[in-house]
């Protein structure tokens, strides 16, 4: 592991130093997964905090207490972040966590367990736009530069957690059988109750339609924006400056259209196509 300014190099990917250290990465590698653990694996800016809202509600039959009393980072912690070592013992079964790790970095005990994973995928063009604004407001990340420069960084994988294509490919080829559910951010936006039903069935929860509807209401973009335990307003301004950009910024598919020129689009599409060409699965997105 080497460190450079605000980032650490770890196993070929960049990680923010503010939230990651050699110690916590070792802690993650030694973390003991249990069979009833639930994991959301999400490339950054694809819906991580949305899953931090959804999972406790699904796992506790729609009980609002966790989402109203515990900040998202302690409620459904990141496997790889410093905070896990502090709060791991406070998590109650079934434990829910999130990770930005590509599959190859999952710890040995995960492979030995029956822990389930929900992989959330988002249109990479919208991830890029979301990440561009996030880099402007997160004071612990490098300045993104111009939008044009940031496209290059993103396509080269010089952003936190590396290339989007590597992340998707790693989890798509993970061969976890019925331990993994693939869902997209766009499906969740289009019909949240349907996405929740799918997740609930996958997690073996027998939730009534009334409970699903209640959970959906509490997980809308609008409701989450007002939840102080989820909107990052508890975080000091020196760390995340919400005056520059809100964390819950737009919450819609397709904002890329307001940012990409035709030249950006051609460059982006050609690079992603090239990376995906030998894959046996097709992306659920028209890249043009
Ligand atoms: P935008 O910047 O496009 O608005 P992550 O949590 O992985 O960092 O992802 C953040 C992105 O997910 C942001 O996208 C944020 O607005 C969006 N998001 C979070 N909760 C959402 C919700 N309930 N509905 C729609 N989008 C949501």
Q: What pLDDT digit, counting tens, does each position of 205-253 carry?
A: 989 999 999 999 999 999 999 999 999 999 999 999 999 999 999 999 9
Asked whether the beta carbons of 240 and 138 are under 8 A apart, the reply is yes
> Best of 16, 42, 46, 50 to mutate for ligand 1, by most ligand atoms within 8 A of CB?
50
Sign, CA torsion 22/237/160/219: positive
> Best of 186, 221, 240 to mutate for ligand 1, by most ligand atoms within 8 A of CB?
221
Model pLDDT, residue 281:
86
Q: Sorting pLDDT into bands at 50, 70 and 90, what band is 2?
A: very low
Ligand 1 within 6 A of CB of 225: no
Ligand 1 within 6 A of CB of 159: no
Task: Indicate which atom in ligand 1 lies nearest the CA of residue 42.
Answer: 7
Tell me the CA–centroid distance for residue 266 and ligand 1, in Å: 25
Q: Sorting pLDDT into bands at 50, 70 and 90, what band is 1?
A: very low
Q: Sorting pLDDT into bands at 50, 70 and 90, what band is 180?
A: very high
Is 96 exposed, middle or buried (CB count within 10 Å of its CB: 0-12, 13-18, 19+)? buried
Please spell the DSSP secondary structure of 242-274, one letter per residue. TTT--SS----TTGGGGT--HHHHHHHHHHHHH
Q: Whose CA is nearest to atom 23 of ligand 1?
A: 221
Task: Indicate which atom in ligand 1 lies nearest the CA of residue 249.
Answer: 4
Model pLDDT, residue 4:
61
Q: What is the CATH number of domain 2-123+160-240?
A: 3.40.50.300
Model pLDDT, residue 65:
98
Using CA atoms, how far residue 48 sits from 97, 130, 173, in Å, is 10, 12, 21
Helix axes 48-59, 192-202, angle to 10 degrees: 60
Q: Is the pTM of this model over 0.85?
A: yes
> Best of 42, 122, 248, 260 to mutate for ligand 1, by most ligand atoms within 8 A of CB?
248
* CA distance linking residue 181 with residue 241, whole number of Å: 34
Ligand 1 within 6 A of CB of 48: yes
Three-state secondary structure call for residue 22 = helix
- pLDDT beyond 80 at 3: no
Q: Provide the annotated active-site residues.
A: 100
- pLDDT beyond 90 at 63: yes
Task: Indicate which atom in ligand 1 lies nearest the CA of residue 49.
Answer: 6
Cite the beta strand spans of 105-165 per DSSP E: 116-121
* CA distance linking residue 41 with residue 37, whole number of Å: 13
Query: Phi, psi at residue 119, to the nearest 5°?
Result: -100, 120
Tell me the CA–centroid distance for residue 236 and ligand 1, in Å: 20
Tell me the CA–centroid distance for residue 278 and ligand 1, in Å: 30
Q: Sorting pLDDT into bands at 50, 70 and 90, what band is 287?
A: confident
Q: What is the pLDDT of residues 30-42, one digit of tens each?
A: 999 999 999 999 9
Q: Sorting pLDDT into bands at 50, 70 and 90, what band is 162?
A: very high
Q: How many CA atoms lie within 13 A of 158 on its CB side?
A: 11
Tell me the CA–centroid distance for residue 221 and ligand 1, in Å: 8
């Amino acid at each position: 592991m080497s460190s450079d300014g605000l980032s650490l190099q770890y196993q070929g990917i960049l990680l923010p130093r503010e939230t990651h250290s050699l110690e916590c990465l070792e802690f993650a590698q030694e973390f003991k997964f249990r069979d009833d653990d639930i994991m959301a694996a999400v490339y950054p800016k694809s819906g991580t905090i949305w899953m931090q809202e959804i999972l406790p509600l699904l796992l506790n039959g729609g009980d609002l207490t966790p989402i109203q009393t515990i900040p998202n980072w302690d409620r459904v912690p990141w496997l790889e972040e410093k905070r896990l070592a502090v709060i791991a013992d406070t998590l109650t079964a079934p434990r829910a966590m999130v990770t930005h790790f590509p599959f190859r970095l999952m710890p040995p005990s995960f492979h030995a367990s029956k822990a389930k994973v929900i992989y959330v995928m988002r249109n990479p063009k919208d991830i890029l736009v979301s990440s561009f604004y996030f880099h402007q407001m997160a004071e612990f990340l490098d300045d993104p530069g111009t939008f044009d420069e940031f496209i290059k960084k993103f396509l080269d994988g010089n952003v936190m957690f590396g290339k989007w294509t590597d992340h998707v490919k790693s989890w798509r080829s993970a061969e976890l059988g019925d331990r993994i559910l693939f869902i997209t951010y766009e499906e969740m936006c289009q019909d949240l109750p349907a996405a929740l039903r799918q997740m609930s069935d996958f997690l073996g929860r027998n939730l009534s339609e009334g409970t699903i509807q209640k959970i959906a209401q509490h997980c809308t973009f609008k409701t989450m924006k007002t939840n102080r335990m989820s909107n990052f307003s508890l975080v000091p301004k020196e760390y995340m400056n919400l005056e520059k950009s809100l964390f819950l910024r737009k919450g819609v598919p397709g904002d890329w259209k307001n940012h990409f020129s035709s030249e950006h689009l051609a460059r982006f599409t050609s690079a992603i196509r090239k990376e995906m060409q030998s894959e046996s699965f097709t992306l659920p997105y028209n890249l043009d």
